[in-house]
Chains A and B, each alone.
Chain A
């Protein structure tokens, strides 16, 4: 378990003070994939580096499995770092070492024997699907392959925690998917906790269990990924959610206003997304429904449906139908009222 208690990181230059991380407290459970999302400059990268003390927090405590890293002397800290893997946006492989040599490096640092290193390296190469590249140099690999080497290297000393610093931001969408699948597999098979930072909400949606949203050095919202997508509270969170669940209606639909119709946005969560609520509404009330837009996203295999529809009928019936929707769905919002 990783606990961050009131962690702050302040950078001081001669002319100014920059608070990169401002009083952040978070708890990350064992076996969890925890995402930290924010725009660039929000402080997520500094926060991630506070976890393995690459950045020493100005104040606050970092505790991993009961060991307070912020209180450790340098030699003990190096030992603890050997059990925290880290992967990077630009991979950061040793250019003059082969793939196998890169994977061997952390084990050499940990003082493992030659045979042990050799056996473990080939095991890891197999795990990341690069057994045929052992003697290749990083410059001959594609971005996705380099990140696989990075992952193998991070796992070499069997860490309990894996930190991912924008691990997929330099990769194309297809490669991103394959790396995310690999991370998920590692989390499920080996039970390693993963903390990842990203500016892509898609990454959070794909693999994270919980997410924290950062802005100006603070965590402004935190929760289970599904709940954040279904009911974002803060504006910035909503902006991030919109990057995945984007509903833009073309202007000509919004301009067609009539006295007998309004445009309604309805959200369905969980089981409700799979029950015929709209069908029941049409049968119960004198209204017609015209679906303008709709999508069901599966987040952690739980459906989250969003529909935009036109509700057509007499005012009295429309109000009754709306009332029904408010009761039966997770969220109903009239986005354009009838012309009066």
Chain B
């Protein structure tokens, strides 16, 4: 019963953390999908000789993507503070944390998008070209359709890794479940809070993965 009492005691904190996590994830996931899909598409097309290869574009985009991806998240978080202040109008709280989360997730997801596009059968693209398709038609009617389950699985992976990163958002007072686990559980040796939050995180990850897998499977007719 003691455990239950303790959980009830931290309930308001948990509730708030849950809301903060939800806020950070929903913004950063949708923004990274919105920017990551076109960016991944651009990376793919600029390296595909059937679709108008532009190697200089591919190399420059690839370089920027790699730079962001190789910077440790905490360093990115701090380095982006001026940019965050400009975009979010504040440098603390979940709104502020969303900015570096999104910036780090975009190139990550763009690479996953690129690799799912690379799995689209080249023969199908050739057939589409032979039928007189424009690049636009190939992008919307062939590439996005054929790669759709890979895009969803990639977004699932991105969401889960953002959930992990959001714990570090505590540095800028971002809050969230992961931050709660670190501040209350880890720093204050409060095992109850730590275990409770870790259990919640495990359940959350399972849930996200299951939804992603199911959706991807349903959309995959290959």
A residues within 8 Å of B by Cβ?
52, 54, 77-82, 84, 86, 88, 90, 92-97, 105-106, 108-110, 137-139, 153, 157, 163
User: Separation in Å of the B185 CB from the closest CB of chain A?
Assistant: 45
Q: Closest 4 A-B residue pairs measured CB to CB?
A: A81-B132, A92-B123, A82-B132, A92-B127
Does B124 lie within 8 Å of A92, measured CB to CB? yes
- Contacting pair B142 A84 (CB below 8 A): no
Q: B130 contacts which of A52, A96, A138, A139 (Cβ < 8 Å)?
A: A52
What chain A residues lie within 8 Å of B126 (beta carbons)? 54, 88, 92
| CB atoms of B221 and A106 under 8 A apart | no
Contacts A88-B123, A96-B221; A78 near B133 (Cβ below 8 A): yes
A54: contacting residue among B129, B134, B220, CB under 8 A: B129
User: Could you list which residues of chain B lie within 8 angstroms of chain A, going by C-beta atoms?
Assistant: 121, 123-124, 126-134, 137, 141-142, 145-146, 148, 219-222
Q: In whole angstroms, what is the CA distance A276 to B49 when docked? A: 62
CA distance A139 to B219 in the complex (A): 13
Q: Is A96's CB under 8 angstroms from B220's CB? A: yes
B148 touches A82 (CB 8 A): no
What are 9 residue pairs bridging A and B, where the CB atoms are less than 8 Å apart in the complex?
Answer: A54-B126, A80-B132, A84-B130, A86-B130, A90-B123, A94-B124, A95-B121, A96-B221, A109-B128
When the two chains form their complex, are residues B145 and A96 in contact, meaning their CB atoms are under 8 A apart? yes
What residues of chain A lie closer than 8 Å to B222, measured between beta carbons? 95-96, 139
Whole-angstrom distance between the Cβ of A77 and the nearest chain B Cβ: 8
Q: In the complex the two chains form, is A54's CB within 8 Å of B131's CB?
A: no
Kindly count the residue-residue contacts between A and B in the assembled complex, taking CB atoms under 8 Å apart. Answer: 71
Q: Which residues of A contact B148 (CB under 8 A)?
A: 96
Given known pairs A82-B132, A96-B222, the reply for A105 and B141 (CB within 8 Å) is: yes
Neighbouring B residues of A80 by C-beta, 8 Å: 132
- Please indicate which of the listed interface residues B133, B145, B148 has the most CB atoms of chain A within 10 Å of its own CB: B133
Q: Are B137 and A109 in contact (CB under 8 A)?
A: yes
With a cutoff of 8 Å between Cβ atoms, the chain A residues found around residue B128 in the complex are 105, 109
Q: Quick check: A97 and B145 within 8 Å, CB to CB?
A: yes
Q: Is the CB of A108 within 8 A of B141?
A: yes
Closest-by-CB residue of B relative to A136 is B221
Q: Given A54-B129, A105-B128, 19 more contacts at CB 8 Å? A: A77-B132, A79-B132, A81-B129, A81-B130, A82-B132, A86-B131, A88-B123, A88-B127, A93-B124, A94-B124, A95-B146, A96-B145, A96-B220, A96-B222, A97-B145, A105-B141, A110-B132, A139-B221, A163-B130
Contact A94 B123 (CB under 8 A): no
Chain B nearest CB: distance from A67 CB in Å? 14
* Residues of the A chain whose Cβ atoms lie less than 8 Å from the Cβ of B127: 86, 88, 92-93
A109 CB contacts on chain B under 8 angstroms: 128, 131-134, 137, 141
Which chain B residues lie closer than 8 Å to A106 at the CB level?
A: 131-132
Return the contact of B131 from the options A95, A105, A139 (Cβ within 8 A): A105
Distance in angstroms from B220 CB to nearest chain A CB is: 7
Closest CB of chain A to B129's CB: distance in Å?
6
Give the distance in Å from the alpha carbon of A80 to the alpha carbon of B130 in the complex: 10
CA distance A105 to B130 in the complex (A): 12
Q: Which of A94, A137, A139 has the most CB of B within 10 A?
A: A94
Task: Provide the bound-state CA to CA distance between A92 and B138, in Å.
Answer: 14
- Closest B-chain residue to A91, C-beta based? B123
Q: Residues of B contacting A108 with CB < 8 Å?
A: 137, 141
Residues of chain A within 8 A (CB-CB) of B145 are 94, 96-97
Query: Does A92 contact B121, Cβ atoms closer than 8 Å?
Result: yes
Question: Which residues of B sit under 8 angstroms from A77, Cβ to Cβ?
Answer: 132
* Chain A min CB distance to B154 (Å): 16
- Chain B's closest residue to A140 (CB) is B221
Q: How far apart sit A27 and B30, CA to CA, in the bound complex (Å)? A: 56
Is B219 a contact partner of A96 (Cβ separation < 8 A)?
yes
